[in-house]
Amino acid sequence: MTFDDILDALDVTLEPFALCELRGQASLGMGRRSHAVLHYILAGEGRLAVDGVPPLPVRPGAVILVPAFAAHCLSSEGARRGPLPDCRPLAMSLEHKRAGEGDGGLAAICGRVRVVYRGLSGTLDLLRTPIVECLQAGDRVRAALDDLVSELANPAVGSKALARSLLLQCVILLFRRRLQAGDQALGWLRGLGDESLWVPLQAILDHPQRDHTVQDLADLAAMSRACFAARFREAYGAGPIELLRTVRLRRAAELLAATDLPVKRVASHVGYDSRSYFSRAFKAQHGVSPEAFRVAAAVAPG
């Protein structure tokens, strides 16, 4: 299966939700969100800091896809490199997030991203590290995205739908270029080319709470245990039980953010009998305890 086949089978939905405007030297925390977030830098220069990753420099034309549940923060350098675009986000039903004062700064439009692969019912939220692409002046997609500035300044009927379409093109372009460059952050996407692994992958996505074993998953793929384990690791960059743990803890994070279920019930829902073991595993993956994660999610913007 070629990259074209894989990209053609992706069902990507993207919903613009905010215009972030940082004036002068300022920072804006984006919290931990239960969905991947796309940032497209409209104007200005600065940095994007993401949990566990060195700060990423950003400038106009930069596109950054941040994994779900990764706390991140946008910062502007404060250099006076011209005024920020005059935008009217509220007229497009977008949040207007502001920080700082003064001239110059940084402006970005942000969107929620969800990816589903045809033939698999679960959301493929397997991105572990941010992926970044800088669209150069003259790039056809950047030229189209620059029309967002005009739309944000002069909203009309269909402006939000147009913004959604343009940002969606941006995501597909980002995937295509990073796949071609061999970006390890998209290893899970390249792995989808091995259709023989879809049934066990679906079992992990649909029923992470079950006591899956490598042998059980190998039987679903009609392979020997050793062959399945090797093929799975080659495809997804992680063993099947390692990926199962990742999916369980992502689902746990969703439950903590969206419900008031006790931590012990959350642990049980995702396949952990021991609350203490669950708490240790959760902190190892998300960097904070389940209780602290829930508090942070309750006050996170958007």
- CB of 65 closer than 8 Å to CB of 129: no
Same domain? For 155 and 208 the reply is: no
Per residue in 19-36, pLDDT (tens digit) is 898 988 899 988 777 788
Do 99 and 118 fall within a single domain?
Answer: yes
Confidence tier at 46 by pLDDT (50, 70, 90): very high
Same domain, 86 and 46: yes
Phi-psi category of 74—alpha, beta or left, where left has phi over 0 and alpha has psi -120 to 50? beta
Whether residue 159 is found in the same domain as residue 275: no
| Rounded CA separation 277/13 (Å) | 35
pLDDT the model gives residue 2: 66
Query: Between 260 and 177, where is the model more confident?
Result: 260
Give the mean model confidence (pLDDT) for residues 62-70: 86
Give the total number of structural domains in the chain.
2
Higher-pLDDT residue of 11 and 84 is 11
Q: Which domain holds residue 244?
A: 194-299
Q: What is the pLDDT of residue 197?
A: 86
- Write the Ramachandran bin of 217: left for phi over 0, alpha for psi from -120 to 50, otherwise beta: alpha
* Residue 226 pLDDT grade (very low, low, confident, very high; cuts 50, 70, 90): very high
Residue 122 pLDDT greater than 80, yes or no: no
Residue 107, both tokens: 């402006």
> What pLDDT is stored for residue 223 in this prediction?
95
**What three-state secondary structure class fits 258?**
helix
Q: Is the pLDDT of residue 271 over 70?
A: yes
Tell me which of 160, 188, 216 is where a domain ends.
188
